[in-house]
Structure 1
């Protein structure tokens, strides 16, 4: 048959729906001949087959280096009732047939078929295998048996059982993704294994998945896992040097926890307002040890005017009996057994219905609080009058022994919230505000808290962030805290929540999911076609300027812009020759001449007065455009309400970060965050890859609204070289405007080649003078710290590592 070739790629068995064996494969004939399929039992008896499913296989076409045209090489052959066939025949053989021509493509004996069926009855997958801080082994996954349930056990190399903690839980995401029967939604097919590394003897452990009819095993190489689990990226910065010097995050947390003496003092604090805080929690099959830890963490609160509202949708009465037995006399705990499980949103709303408090606090059914959590919340309410509050949080291992992954959050940052639900826990809202927003909505289950937070923040008058770790998010299989990819359905709900947020605000925007689970990218429609005036100061360095202009005109997809090149004190004749040729080469460009001494602020103010555009785009001459839609990305943010300026993401030529936003106070005055980190580094909790509000951005690439620029008097000309762009951003913020950083406008920056270094006594004196001027002008803001950068992170390193005590 010449170059005829074929393959059976996968054999799948479905025990529940007709005992069907499915064979997925393909075949290719040089003449693109289409064959029929024939199944024979014991070589002579024809077995009837359902209609064969045919499909394209572009992977096969690529591998073979051919074009199939209308020919469909892929197929799925379904063989029903294979159990009966295994009893009737000693062998089964599948042929491709065309008249008398017949080719065997698959054959199996009865014994082999029996083994194949057993192999397919139990299916498992490990979502996560990780060593935490060289002390704990954490394993998460799922397992199903088509004929019943599966027991999960863990064995040492010598076959003895490993002393570890195994928890089971539901995995509706797996049921949805793999199209399993509905009954699996209520089964505990998920598993979580926690083991202390010192308990493991030898270099391996073996997982046993014991189904009703078959057992499967999986071996984990512990030594290899140790090598693979070295901290990378942000985690290495967060824990690297601290783990040597001071014990890492867990030691940091221990030093910052409230002590018993302080807790006693807090109990007697005399607040002007002592609101009742109603903690609302939906329960569903909550493991009793976790429930006990949660309840005890609430009862230990130093602020005592609280109410715990529990709505239980579990199919059994375990939680009810446990609470009645151990907490029946605690009047602040209100429990209701629901007639049916309505899902997390409905159940949470049922808990809210029990609430009598002035404020509602959302909490998960298996997490824990720091004992001063409510005290800090009430203190903030008294200090700020906030109607929405949130705190920092971290994660705790399933056994409650280890704390990790602290989320030190910025103060309220709406643009950042649109990227990802960074607020999460603890979230507190004034109950009267929910009368306007409504409660949780079932159509957003999986991201119901994100949708609720967005709606509350839209209506809130005052949103306060408490920069303290007051909440511990348990890392287990029913929580996105552990494995974001385990809840894919939740992220689509999150995308819809952000989309509806824009719709409520009347903003025309499309929202898409990114490669990072639970993170979103917004495409806000540019309104109109406004003229953008690109302002580029230049002194000689025509090679740099040429690269800048060439990349801008060749790559930019936005076309309505003008270029103002501000000539200032060039000395080379070839520079002026270059200017003379500019109109022919770059029709959008014109040259303005600054005849006074170099003063960056004055030069740009001079150009801004000559600009015709509605938006000004300050640009260094030593940049190169990388992303074609860079102007649109900046404009879509700059056009939004109360936004005055937008900055871009700049790289050094070696693809490390030069600018991804400025942190006030970093290095004493202000500094670029994550400078010299890898271009691909997502940064601290996605900081480098998120559109977000920020204190300041560099004018090496900064777009501003001309009206806002004029309203604050432009650039302060007392800052001749340094801090003028930071000062401008500070003036915008003082006027109630926002500064935005976008990672989607990307450029190379060949930093400061035009200006040179502070390498003379005169330049150093001028620089010191500008430092002092900035410190005096913005003393209060420097003292308060950057609202978009946690006080718990270093202001000396710039790498988002923990701040030294």
Structure 2
């Protein structure tokens, strides 16, 4: 490797289990990449056995040791370790965790291939009480909305040393969640973030570690919430963060203020069944204020148009089916969109139903963001199981609905309770800005009934817009539960694969180590 970078592993120490501490140090010494240094800072343990252990390490010139006389806190210890370090990148290893033997080699390869990179993180697992590896955690590539919901980056993060120092290191007032605070500040300064989809860090389950459960360190989540609210203030985001309901400890919800009044054009495709629209229109009337919406409908089986009817005392504008649009869903929605006057478009059909008064607000709070191109929510089957929380690329050789046919629990590493980014979302229940919709040319009418929604989202992604899913917008879809890929026509599939073959197997939000034969984030 030409010009191998010096990598500095920082380890704050306080009253460690000496056996586990030695294993942590040994995991660094066993690295197959040789150009590293280990900076140990004892934060006032005052332990003679620990001092003796330090003395036994003196023969390794790559290890530096500093001892505080008094306990200064974890941030002070990390910053002191950084002051000892000479590496071009810093990363923190906890005193009882371990690095995979090839961890630093993998990081060095990333740096060599991408010299502009500022932040690097990896996948991780846990070590149980018997020393067995368990609970693999296969992470998303950089996912900005997930990062505002949860510190999913966690371990092992390398920061460019100049960035770490420019940020002033870690901050004492966030001790316990100093790593989350550092991440939130660092990503405000750089977009050069790289994820290594390999398990290179082993987080030990032990007494006093939140790896074994949140009750071990409840203050961590209080400090994490404080760090997140501090980030919102820095970023001038109007709103506040709170603990997410019915979620893991450490999962947060950012509530954003609606920055100005918005109107939503609700576009409803009718299927000709007179009973079907009733749950949808009832839910619209009950849950979305009339001043904030207009409703535009199309029944392709009925040629009448241009008239306004009343359903549940709400006016509905009927639009004629476009010529030559026989059984073409994107063409129907495009025709309705051309009649719309709202700031936002919300796409529904008469098999859908809005479930809560919060749904419209939850969509708007994300959709108003200039960096977000489309937003969707959680869609349930009539039996209470999920139909989707987003679209993941790759399963079954095409794509799948994330978490389809699974219960409404917290999900894989808590993802079902997080506002997060996906590559795409389902078209029914999708909200997007009207002007942006037409800037992209609307939905592609080459598709008939399927793939048009994923295609629209991927075109937004090409323009660097985020696709956001919020669990606080909820819908019920009155259809039988069935796998997505079984109902897609071969024609629509062929068009989608030809256009997007280069991304189908490279979804940045769906780790390549997860199964392509399931939809619930199950390790492959």
TM superposition score category, shorter chain reference = over 0.9
1:511 positional shift: 1.0
Quick one: distance in 2 between partners of 1:595 and 1:646?
27
Give CA-to-partner distance per residue, 1:528-549, whole Å, 9 cap, x none.
Answer: 0111111111131232212101
Provide closer, same or farther for how the CA distance between residues 581 and 608 of structure 1 changes in structure 2, counting only shifts above 3 A. Answer: closer
Could you tell me which residue of structure 2 aligns to residue 550 of structure 1? 282
Match of 1:630 among 349, 359, 383: 359
SS across alignment from 1:583: strand
Quick one: distance in 2 between partners of 1:541 and 1:458?
51
Rg larger in structure: 1
Provide closer, same or farther for how the CA distance between residues 648 and 300 of structure 1 changes in structure 2, counting only shifts above 3 A. Answer: same
Match of 1:321 among 52, 56, 77: 52
Could you tell me which residue of structure 2 aligns to residue 382 of structure 1? 112
Give CA-to-partner distance per residue, 1:52-100, whole Å, 9 cap, x none.
Answer: xxxxxxxxxxxxxxxxxxxxxxxxxxxxxxxxxxxxxxxxxxxxxxxxx
Provide closer, same or farther for how the CA distance between residues 662 and 373 of structure 1 changes in structure 2, counting only shifts above 3 A. Answer: same
Quick one: distance in 1 between partners of 2:519 and 2:107?
29
Quick one: distance in 2 between partners of 1:406 and 1:416?
18
Q: Does 1:657 align with 2:379?
A: no
- Once the two structures are superposed, the pairs formed by residues 244-643 of structure 1 within 5 Å of their partners are 270-271=1-2, 273-313=3-43, 314-325=45-56, 327-384=57-114, 385-399=116-130, 401-514=131-244, 515=246, 516-556=248-288, 559-570=291-302, 582-583=309-310, 585-596=312-323, 597-643=326-372
Give CA-to-partner distance per residue, 1:334-385, whole Å, 9 cap, x none.
Answer: 0011121101111111111111111011111110010100011111122333
SS across alignment from 2:373: strand
Match of 2:456 among 699, 709, 728: 728
Quick one: distance in 2 between partners of 1:279 and 1:429?
11
1:708 positional shift: 2.2
SS across alignment from 1:454: helix
Give the conservation status (yes or no) of the 8 Å contact 2:243–2:251: yes
Q: Which runs of 5+ in 1 are unaligned?
A: 1-269
Provide closer, same or farther for how the CA distance between residues 600 and 427 of structure 1 changes in structure 2, counting only shifts above 3 A. Answer: same
Count of aligned residue pairs for this structure pair: 516
1:568 positional shift: 1.3
Quick one: distance in 2 between partners of 1:758 and 1:455?
41
**What RMSD, in angstroms, separates the aligned Cα atoms of the two structures?**
2.1
Give CA-to-partner distance per residue, 1:125-144, whole Å, 9 cap, x none.
Answer: xxxxxxxxxxxxxxxxxxxx
**Greater share of strand residues, 1 or 2?**
1
Quick one: distance in 2 between partners of 1:586 and 1:367?
63
Give CA-to-partner distance per residue, 1:484-538, whole Å, 9 cap, x none.
Answer: 1222211111111111111111101111113431111111111101111111111
- Once the two structures are superposed, the pairs formed by residues 683-702 of structure 1 within 5 Å of their partners are 683-702=411-430
1:752 positional shift: 8.0
Give the conservation status (yes or no) of the 8 Å contact 2:308–2:316: no
1:475 positional shift: 0.6
Give the conservation status (yes or no) of the 8 Å contact 2:121–2:196: yes
Could you tell me which residue of structure 2 aligns to residue 138 of structure 1? none
SS across alignment from 1:701: coil
- Once the two structures are superposed, the pairs formed by residues 187-266 of structure 1 within 5 Å of their partners are none
TM-score using structure 2 length? 0.94
Match of 1:709 among 437, 453, 462: 437
Quick one: distance in 1 between partners of 2:144 and 2:77?
28
SS across alignment from 1:742: strand
Provide closer, same or farther for how the CA distance between residues 484 and 798 of structure 1 changes in structure 2, counting only shifts above 3 A. Answer: same
Quick one: distance in 2 between partners of 1:777 and 1:554?
41
SS across alignment from 2:458: helix
Could you tell me which residue of structure 2 aligns to residue 224 of structure 1? none
1:304 positional shift: 1.0
Quick one: distance in 1 between partners of 2:467 and 2:73?
40
Give CA-to-partner distance per residue, 1:604-643, whole Å, 9 cap, x none.
Answer: 1111121111111111221111111211101111112310
Q: Does 1:790 align with 2:511?
A: yes
Quick one: distance in 1 between partners of 2:374 and 2:19?
51
Provide closer, same or farther for how the CA distance between residues 581 and 507 of structure 1 changes in structure 2, counting only shifts above 3 A. Answer: closer
Quick one: distance in 2 between partners of 1:747 and 1:628?
11
Match of 2:397 among 653, 658, 668: 668
1:584 positional shift: 6.5
1:649 positional shift: 0.5
Quick one: distance in 1 between partners of 2:250 and 2:401?
27
**Quick check: 738-747 or 584-593, which moved more?**
584-593
Provide closer, same or farther for how the CA distance between residues 297 and 627 of structure 1 changes in structure 2, counting only shifts above 3 A. Answer: same
- Once the two structures are superposed, the pairs formed by residues 127-206 of structure 1 within 5 Å of their partners are none
Give the conservation status (yes or no) of the 8 Å contact 2:307–2:317: no
- Once the two structures are superposed, the pairs formed by residues 102-113 of structure 1 within 5 Å of their partners are none
1:802 positional shift: 2.1
Give the conservation status (yes or no) of the 8 Å contact 2:400–2:485: no
Give the conservation status (yes or no) of the 8 Å contact 2:308–2:317: no
Give the conservation status (yes or no) of the 8 Å contact 1:708–1:732: no
Quick one: distance in 2 between partners of 1:495 and 1:558?
35
Could you tell me which residue of structure 2 aligns to residue 12 of structure 1? none
Higher relative contact order (CA 8 A, sep 6+): 2
**Quick check: 430-439 or 739-748, which moved more?**
430-439
Provide closer, same or farther for how the CA distance between residues 786 and 758 of structure 1 changes in structure 2, counting only shifts above 3 A. Answer: closer
Give the conservation status (yes or no) of the 8 Å contact 2:308–2:315: no
Quick one: distance in 2 between partners of 1:510 and 1:294?
38
Quick one: distance in 1 between partners of 2:206 and 2:290?
47
1:581 positional shift: 7.8
TM-score using structure 1 length? 0.62
Quick one: distance in 1 between partners of 2:311 and 2:282?
13
1:570 positional shift: 3.7
SS across alignment from 1:542: coil
Quick one: distance in 1 between partners of 2:313 and 2:452?
29
